[in-house]
Structure 1
Amino acid sequence: MTTAAHVSSATDQLAVTDALYRFATGIDLKDRDLLASSLAEDAVSDFRAAAAKAGFEYPVLEGRDTIVSALSTSLTSLDTTHSVSNPRVTIDADTARLEAMVEAQHVPKNNASMHYLMKNRYDVQLIRQGDAWVIKHVAIDNVWRDGDPAVLAGV
Structure 2
Amino acid sequence: MTISPSSANTAADQLAVIDALYRFAAGIDQRDQRLLASSLAENAVSDFRPAAAKAGFEYPVIEGRDVIVTALTAALAALDTTHSVSNPRVTIDGATARLDALVEAQHVSRADPARHYLMKNRYDVELARAGDGWVITRTTVDNVWRSGDIAVLSGI
Can you list the C-alpha shifts for 1:67-123, whole angstroms capped at 9, x where unaligned? 000000110000000000000000000000000000000000010111000000000
Unmatched segments (≥5 aa) in structure 1: none
Q: CA deviation at 1:35?
A: 0.1
TM-score by length of 1: 0.98
Aligned counterparts, 1:82-93, within 5 A: 82-93=83-94
% identical aligned pairs: 68
Q: 3-state DSSP class of the match of 2:77?
A: coil
Unmatched segments (≥5 aa) in structure 2: none
Aligned twin of 1:113: 114
Which amino acid letter does the alignment assign opposite residue 92 of structure 1? D
How many Å separate the matches in 2 of 1:72 and 1:131? 27
Give the number of equivalent residue pairs. 154
Where do 4+ consecutive residues of structure 1 move more than 4 Å?
none
Q: CA deviation at 1:16?
A: 0.1
Which amino acid letter does the alignment assign opposite residue 59 of structure 2? Y
Q: 3-state DSSP class of the match of 2:114?
A: coil
How many Å separate the matches in 2 of 1:96 and 1:69? 25
Aligned counterparts, 1:11-26, within 5 A: 11-26=12-27
How many Å separate the matches in 2 of 1:106 and 1:152? 7
Aligned twin of 1:67: 68
Aligned twin of 1:36: 37
TM-score by length of 2: 0.98
Aligned twin of 1:27: 28
Aligned twin of 2:137: 136
How many Å separate the matches in 1 of 2:46 and 2:58? 14
How many Å separate the matches in 1 of 2:61 and 2:50? 10
Q: 3-state DSSP class of the match of 1:143?
A: strand
How many Å separate the matches in 2 of 1:113 and 1:39? 32
Q: CA deviation at 1:26?
A: 0.2
Q: 3-state DSSP class of the match of 1:57?
A: coil
Aligned twin of 2:46: 45
Q: 3-state DSSP class of the match of 1:34?
A: helix
How many Å separate the matches in 1 of 2:34 and 2:123? 21
Aligned counterparts, 1:121-132, within 5 A: 121-132=122-133
